[in-house]
Amino acid sequence: MEANGTTIHVDVAGHGAPVLLVPGAGGDARQYVELARLLAENHTVIAYDRRNNARSPLQQDWAETSVEQHAGDIVALLETLGTERCVVYGNSTGALIALAAVLKAPSLFSGAVLHEPALLSVLANPDDAMASVQPIIAAGMETDGLAGGAEAFVRFAAGDAAALLSPDFIEALRANARVLLEAEFGAFASWMPGPEAMAGSSVPLAVLSAEQTAPFFVEAAEWIASRAGVSRRTVPGGHMGFLDHRVELAAAIDGMFSAVPQYD
């Protein structure tokens, strides 16, 4: 599909109230393949490869991006599809993009599930968070260049669940390593939503952190939850728990359809 001045690969499956899945690192919908299959039993599931990632073609603007640009892609995609209000789910940096889209165009969304949001800009000590991943990336780059750095980072983030990432996903991640490490990494780490916009949001939010996760992800989730006036919830698994705990994540997404919208 053409949306917001770029070409985006989109997968649509199932029938029922729509759910949009926003991928994190790698920008590849295939990380959600099993979660999408489960959700498609009761929902129309829209999953897409973010601009300049995976099956979406690499364009000349790949070297510079922002959370707001990716949020604009979501808004344009949904408007082009003409879907009814949907629940949006995002993991890690995908949660930031989902949140930015909800704040930008609330009329398109009936709810949002923010799972392990990587909102580093609000941390008391953001350098500590970066310091925990930089040696992992550096070690991967030392042995296999940018591709090795990107793969090492995502495997570290996924933990034991990394074994469930498909070979196609890993191949695309390595091919688009420059996008992740040179364009997205810094731009996404510096993004911060306005507290006033958070407090005034009319879209119901579920803010989830994982049982096995780094303290800074819990801190980021708490920041969002407190400003949105909701309680942070803990779900099983690690940072990419949608890989090995998809039933629990699907239930959290399903639960948003029973939330009462706070707008007309």
Domain map of the chain by residue range? Answer: 2-258
Question: Comparing C-alpha atoms, which of 39, 46, 64 is closest to residue 9?
Answer: 46
- Give the pLDDT of residue 259: 62
- Give the pLDDT of residue 231: 95
pTM of the model: 0.96
The rounded distance, in Å, linking the Cα atoms of 161 and 247 is 14
What lies within 8 Å, CB to CB, of 129 at 6+ separation is: 120, 123, 214, 216
The rounded distance, in Å, linking the Cα atoms of 185 and 128 is 16
In terms of phi and psi (left: phi > 0; alpha: psi -120 to 50; beta: otherwise), the region of 16 is left
- Give the pLDDT of residue 260: 45
- Give the pLDDT of residue 263: 33
Beta strand ranges found along 16-170 (DSSP E): 18-22, 44-48, 86-91, 109-115
- Give the pLDDT of residue 21: 98
Give the pair of three-digit tokens for residue 141: 């780059």
Cα-to-chain-centroid distance, residue 89: 7
Question: Comparing C-alpha atoms, which of 126, 208, 118, 207 is closest to residue 157?
Answer: 118
- Give the pLDDT of residue 197: 86
Measured CA to CA in angstroms, residue 243 lies from 45, 49, 195, 211, 247 at distances of 17, 17, 31, 14, 10
The rounded distance, in Å, linking the Cα atoms of 234 and 260 is 21
204: three-class secondary structure by DSSP = coil
The rounded distance, in Å, linking the Cα atoms of 158 and 261 is 33
Considering all CA atoms of the chain, what is the largest pairwise distance in Å, rounded to the nearest integer?
Answer: 55
- Assign domain 2-258 to a CATH class: alpha beta
Per-residue pLDDT of the chain (264 residues; tens, 9 = 90+): 999 999 999 999 999 999 999 999 999 999 999 999 999 999 999 999 999 999 999 999 899 999 999 999 999 999 999 999 999 999 999 999 999 999 999 999 999 999 999 999 999 999 888 899 999 999 999 999 999 999 999 999 999 999 999 999 999 999 999 999 999 999 999 999 988 888 888 999 999 999 999 999 999 999 999 999 999 999 999 999 999 999 999 999 999 987 644 333
